């Protein structure tokens, strides 16, 4: 459905030209400052990559791509999706499959900003898609990116607003859509500081598909127009059969009679509180599985467990879980569905401390009772709906977490009711993929001719088409 903000009556005709001139001058000045600051920050960008590489060496690879230089190319017309990291890449899975079915003559290109996002894309799609890093928002870099791949359509997932990239797509006549768009109140305040620049950027999108009416309202405050509310793509993710089978295998290895509590996608500072909660749960033979959100923190969490004197094993060791093991450290990638399938109760990390929360939909779609902290502003609508549906409950701190985990572990009927509510909650909110595909069909019909558009896009951005 369309969502349009109320507009005030037009100003007097003779005032419009002057106001527009002032507005455009302000936007040009802000754009110049923004780009100048980016160039001034270039040494920091290099330092940042090196710093991140201390814990994640993959940040040392593919530097050329981050500045618009690519070895990968496609001989077919390209549909491009930008999925920053793991969560966005997983959310895009149903859309990628739908695009491949509707546009079999096209090549899907996934761009990322993090190595874990890139790795997730490889796990999900293998060689069925092209993968690379999106360049940083330098004008020369985004122009080279567009000239190299010549996309016929671009999709940015969730909250990716890069002025130079969006402007270059607009100049090249590449239709660019903001899909599965969400915007928290905190992000609204941050973007609002850039006023006219962000407004101009948002109005250059060919389409904006928001997750909820609240997201649409906030995007409209920033200047987006003709926003369509289409729901959340993450509801359309189906738990893979292979992941469910792995979950069953894990559960048998844990000990079929042991109760299993999963702390999923935990963030820094939360593991200490979860370990404090474990002291108060008092359920015999309880096994706790802790899966940190970021792989670079796996070793730090292992060190925390050692300092606490907790008997633990690492999933990466691929060993049978001992009956004496208290905690399994989930230091693996791409197995979250399996962890959900193997547990009795799941806590969703990033919500006990003010990180904004992580995706709770996967836990609900596997039919597991879900516990959230109070800080879910990144998934506010889904979290509230899940609580209202009886699929999830909230806790204020680690003490309430301990109480609710113990209550659920000792009450199989309550676990079953919440699990069934989660399945129904997930089912009722599916359908965003179909709505987004209908929107994209208006911009790029399936029968769309391919060759000339790509070459025209390259000419429009002032670079020679890469025809080799």
Separation CA 97–CA 246 (nearest Å): 23
Strand 151-157 to strand 130-133: parallel, antiparallel, or no bridges (unpaired)? Answer: unpaired
Q: What's the token pair of residue 119?
A: 């790795």
442 Cβ contact list (under 8 Å, min separation 6): none
The predicted model gives 350-375 an average pLDDT of 96
Q: What angle (nearest 5°) sits at the alpha carbon of residue 313, between those of residues 312 and 316?
A: 150
pLDDT digit string, tens, across residues 262-297: 999 999 999 999 999 999 999 999 999 999 999 999
User: What digits encode the pLDDT tens for the residues 385-405?
Assistant: 999 999 999 999 999 999 999
Using a pLDDT cut of 70, give the percent of the chain over it: 90
205: three-class secondary structure by DSSP: coil
Strands lying side by side in the sheet with 260-266: 312-314, 327-329, 287-292, 260-266, 345-348, 370-372, 392-394
Q: Is 439 exposed, middle or buried (CB count within 10 Å of its CB: 0-12, 13-18, 19+)?
A: middle
Task: State mean pLDDT over 338-361.
Answer: 97
% of the chain exceeding 90 in pLDDT: 83
- CATH number of 241-428, picked from 3.30.365.10, 3.40.50.2000, 3.50.50.60, 3.30.1490.20: 3.40.50.2000
Reduced DSSP (H G I as helix, E B as strand, rest coil) percent helix, strand, coil of the chain, to 5: 55, 15, 35
Q: Tell me the torsion sign for CA atoms 358, 361, 363, 364.
A: positive
Structure tokens at 178: 């903001």
HSE-CB at 387 with a 13 A cutoff on CA atoms is 13
* 131-139 mean pLDDT: 97
Span 311-320, average pLDDT: 96
**Does residue 29 surpass a pLDDT of 90?**
no
Q: How far apart are CA 347 and CA 373, in angstroms?
A: 8
For the segment 57-66, the average pLDDT, to the nearest whole number, is 96
pLDDT for the residue 232: 96
Residue 449: per-residue pLDDT: 41
Catalytic residue among 88, 271, 335, 404: 88
Nearest to 236 by CA among 92, 99, 424: 92
- Summarised one tens digit per residue, pLDDT across range 4-19 is 555 444 444 444 466 5
At 219-270, the pLDDT tens digits run 999 999 989 999 999 999 999 999 999 999 999 999 989 999 999 999 999 9
- How confident is the prediction for the chain on average, in pLDDT? 90
Quote the CA–CA distance of 42 and 239 in Å, as a whole number. Answer: 41
Instruction: Give the pLDDT score at 71.
Output: 93
Would you call 88 a catalytic residue per the annotation? yes
| In the chain, domain spans | 2-231+431-460, 241-428
Reduced to 3 states (helix: H, G, I; strand: E, B; else coil), residue 162 is coil
Q: Is residue 70's pLDDT more than 70?
A: yes
Would the CATH topology of 2-231+431-460 be identical to that of 241-428? yes
Topology annotation, domain 2-231+431-460? Rossmann fold (3.40.50)
- Burial of residue 64 (number of CB atoms within 10 Å: 0-12, 13-18, 19+): middle
The beta-carbon contacts of 248-251 under 8 Å, at least 24 apart in sequence, are 248/341, 248/342, 250/338, 250/339, 250/341, 250/342, 251/341, 251/342
Q: 361 and 391 in contact (C-beta within 8 Å)?
A: no
């Amino acid at each position: 459905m369309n969502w349009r903000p109320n507009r005030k009556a037009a100003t007097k005709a003779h005032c419009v030209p002057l106001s527009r001139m002032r507005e455009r001058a302000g936007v040009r000045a802000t754009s110049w400052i923004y780009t100048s600051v980016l160039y001034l920050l270039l040494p920091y960008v290099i330092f940042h990559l090196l710093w991140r590489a201390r814990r994640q060496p993959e940040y040392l690879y593919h530097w050329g791509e981050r500045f618009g230089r690519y070895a990968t190319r496609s001989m077919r017309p390209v549909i491009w999706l930008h999925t920053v990291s793991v969560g966005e890449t997983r959310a895009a899975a149903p859309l990628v499959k739908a695009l491949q079915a509707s546009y079999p003559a096209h090549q899907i290109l996934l761009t990322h900003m993090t190595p874990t996002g890139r790795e997730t894309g490889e796990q999900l799609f293998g060689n069925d898609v092209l993968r690379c890093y999106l360049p940083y928002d330098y004008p020369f870099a985004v122009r080279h990116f567009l000239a190299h791949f010549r996309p016929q359509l671009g999709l940015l997932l969730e909250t990716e607003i890069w002025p130079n990239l969006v402007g270059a797509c607009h100049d090249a006549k590449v239709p660019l859509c903001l899909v599965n768009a969400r915007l928290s109140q905190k992000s609204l305040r941050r973007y609002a500081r850039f006023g006219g620049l962000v407004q101009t950027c948002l109005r250059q999108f060919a389409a904006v598909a928001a997750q909820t009416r609240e997201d649409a309202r906030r995007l409209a405050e920033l200047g987006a127009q003709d926003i369509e509310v289409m729901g959340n793509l993450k509801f359309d993710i189906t738990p893979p059969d292979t992941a469910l089978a792995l979950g069953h295998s894990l559960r048998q290895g844990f000990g079929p009679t042991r109760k299993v509590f999963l702390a999923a996608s935990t963030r820094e500072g939360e593991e200490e509180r979860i370990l404090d909660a474990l002291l108060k749960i008092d359920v015999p033979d309880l096994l706790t599985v802790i899966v940190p959100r970021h792989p670079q923190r796996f070793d730090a969490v292992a060190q925390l467990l050692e300092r606490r004197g907790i008997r633990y094993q690492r999933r990466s060791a691929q060993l049978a879980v001992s009956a004496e093991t208290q905690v399994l450290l989930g230091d693996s990638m791409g197995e979250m569905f399996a962890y959900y399938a193997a547990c009795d109760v799941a806590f969703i990390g990033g919500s006990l401390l003010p990180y904004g929360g992580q995706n709770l939909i996967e836990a609900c779609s596997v039919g597991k009772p879900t516990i959230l902290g109070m800080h879910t502003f990144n998934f506010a609508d889904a979290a509230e709906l899940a609580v209202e549906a009886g699929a999830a409950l909230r806790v204020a701190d680690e003490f309430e977490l301990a109480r609710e985990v113990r209550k659920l572990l000792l009450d199989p009927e309550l676990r079953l009711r919440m699990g069934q509510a989660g399945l129904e909650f997930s089912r009722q909110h599916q359908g965003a993929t179909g709505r987004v595909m209908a929107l994209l069909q208006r911009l790029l019909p399936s029968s769309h001719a391919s060759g000339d558009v790509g070459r025209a896009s390259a000419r429009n951005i002032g670079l020679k088409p890469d025809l080799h």
